[in-house]
Structure 1
Amino acid sequence: MGSIYLIRHGQASFGADDYDVLSPTGVRQAEVLGQHLAKLGVRLDRCISGSLRRQQHTAQAALQHIEHAPVLEIDDAFNEFDTDAVIRSLVPGILDEQPEALDILRNGANNRAEFQRLFAKLIERWISGEHDRPDLQSWQAFVAQVEGGLQRILERADSRQNIAVFTSGGTITALLRLITEVPARKAFELNWQIVNTSLSLLKFRGREVTLASFNSHLHLQLLKAPELITYR
């Protein structure tokens, strides 16, 4: 069987003006991942990234430690969904019951627990399909986008290939939904646990795909450096 390694990007710059940049911790996480894969002797036949900078930078920092790594390919299908658009479109609908929501969301880096609580509430509204808007990509459309990327991989792959996909938590969540048929709400409960640069492994034969492992971050745990285990 072939293998697809789903790799979440390293820690991004949460709370900064530009989130789509790896923090110094994110760069270190990616380097540790690459060193770990090299020690395991993992041979990669293809490497694919979404087009977001944090995804590509993670790939570049990891792949520099792997001998004979293939050229990085870019596929927008593995981009994260537009979290800012979800917040902008759906937050007005919760202001009556959560009047403090705007202040919390604007200052998320200083109040991470409250930010996560509100963000999870907005995601529930998004995935329900009951609040779809013409100017906002729906959850179903996002899942279809990710499915298209997966199908393109499978069309070109043979059953002996090892393929790395550098992507984001929401994209991995959509793939979990597609492959395991877990309800979207349960999939997002798993999403909140996905560690930066963690590995989730898919095994495939032809068009059949199964989940072999989820959210492995042994490469970080072995360093016994808790500050490297991050979730955003």
Structure 2
Amino acid sequence: MGNLYLIRHGQASFGASDYDVLSDLGARQSHALGEHFGQLGLRFDRCVAGSLRRQQDTARLALDALRASGVDTPAIDTDPDFNEFDAEGVIRSLLPALLVQEPEALHVMRNAREHRSEFQRLFALMVQRWHAGDHAEDDGLETWSAFTARLQRALQRVLDQAAEGQNIAVFTSGGSIAALLHLITGITPAQAFTLNWQIINTSLNHLKFHGREVSLSTFNSQAHLALLQAPELITYR
């Protein structure tokens, strides 16, 4: 059996003009992850990351820390199919219709850092409609089915290129991990998105694989952060 680790990126810059940048805390989380790998003596045969900056930087910082512990590390292969869904696109497409029932939604979206819980509630409503395809077909938004299809392709490429018994790290995002769990375990899209809210930055989701057969071994492991006894390192966005 081989081991595939789906790793969420470190904390990005929620509410800032450019979300796709690791915060200082996100960099610490990524470094702690790499040190944890070194303490475990875990060696990766391959490392894949999406093309988003936060995914690439998490992979780089974690592998730098692992290498500093004396463990050889592979180069980072980039696969954009592991990128997150377009959350901003979901909001742009589905917010106008939501304003009829939620007139304060625009204010909340524009001030997300000050209204985190309300943002989460409203965004969940929009994602439900996205799952159902309740948006214009010509708005350029990637559909839920297209999103899951590209993640299925990305996963199959990794498995097809893997050898038996290899350890493979994939640095990706919470929505991508949730969609992959939907594909692997058969949970519904709604259940997958509920899990998405629980996925901690730099957490490990351990899959076992044999050929193209994949099973979930561990979900959302955060031992590398919990052991540091620094509660501020446990973040969800």
Q: TM-score range by the shorter chain?
A: over 0.9
Amino acid at match of 1:9: H
Where 1:201 maps in the other structure, the secondary structure is strand
Equivalent in 132, 137, 141 of residue 133 of structure 1:
137
Residue 53 of structure 1 corresponds to 53
Q: Deviations over 1:89-116 (max 9, x none)?
A: 0011111100000000010011111111
In the alignment, the residues of structure 1 paired with residue 137 and residue 20 of structure 2 have an alpha-carbon distance, to the nearest angstrom, of: 25
1:132 deviates by 5.0
In the alignment, the residues of structure 1 paired with residue 218 and residue 165 of structure 2 have an alpha-carbon distance, to the nearest angstrom, of: 18
In the alignment, the residues of structure 2 paired with residue 95 and residue 139 of structure 1 have an alpha-carbon distance, to the nearest angstrom, of: 22
Residue 144 of structure 1 corresponds to 149
In the alignment, the residues of structure 2 paired with residue 50 and residue 116 of structure 1 have an alpha-carbon distance, to the nearest angstrom, of: 24
In the alignment, the residues of structure 2 paired with residue 159 and residue 32 of structure 1 have an alpha-carbon distance, to the nearest angstrom, of: 28
In the alignment, the residues of structure 2 paired with residue 132 and residue 38 of structure 1 have an alpha-carbon distance, to the nearest angstrom, of: 48
Equivalent residues, number = 232
Amino acid at match of 1:123: V
Where 1:16 maps in the other structure, the secondary structure is coil
Residue 116 of structure 1 corresponds to 120
In the alignment, the residues of structure 2 paired with residue 124 and residue 196 of structure 1 have an alpha-carbon distance, to the nearest angstrom, of: 23
TM-score (norm 1): 0.98
In the alignment, the residues of structure 1 paired with residue 218 and residue 188 of structure 2 have an alpha-carbon distance, to the nearest angstrom, of: 18
Amino acid at match of 2:50: G
Alignment of 1:16-31 (within 5 A): 16-31=16-31
Match status 1:97 vs 2:122: no
In the alignment, the residues of structure 1 paired with residue 120 and residue 136 of structure 2 have an alpha-carbon distance, to the nearest angstrom, of: 21
Residue 216 of structure 1 corresponds to 221
Counterparts in 2 of 1:132 and 1:4: CA distance versus 1, 3 Å: farther
Where 2:220 maps in the other structure, the secondary structure is strand
Counterparts in 2 of 1:28 and 1:91: CA distance versus 1, 3 Å: same
In the alignment, the residues of structure 2 paired with residue 140 and residue 131 of structure 1 have an alpha-carbon distance, to the nearest angstrom, of: 13
Where 1:31 maps in the other structure, the secondary structure is helix
Alignment of 1:1-232 (within 5 A): 1-66=1-66, 67-134=71-138, 135-232=140-237
Amino acid at match of 2:56: Q
Residue identity over aligned pairs, in percent, reads 59
Amino acid at match of 1:86: V
In the alignment, the residues of structure 1 paired with residue 127 and residue 177 of structure 2 have an alpha-carbon distance, to the nearest angstrom, of: 15
Where 2:218 maps in the other structure, the secondary structure is strand
Where 1:136 maps in the other structure, the secondary structure is coil
In the alignment, the residues of structure 2 paired with residue 226 and residue 111 of structure 1 have an alpha-carbon distance, to the nearest angstrom, of: 22
1:158 deviates by 1.2
Amino acid at match of 1:105: M
CA contact (8 A) 2:51 2:79 kept: yes
1:193 deviates by 0.3
Amino acid at match of 1:180: T
Consecutive unaligned residues in structure 2, runs of 5 or more: none
1:131 deviates by 2.7
CA contact (8 A) 1:126 1:132 kept: no
TM-score (norm 2): 0.96
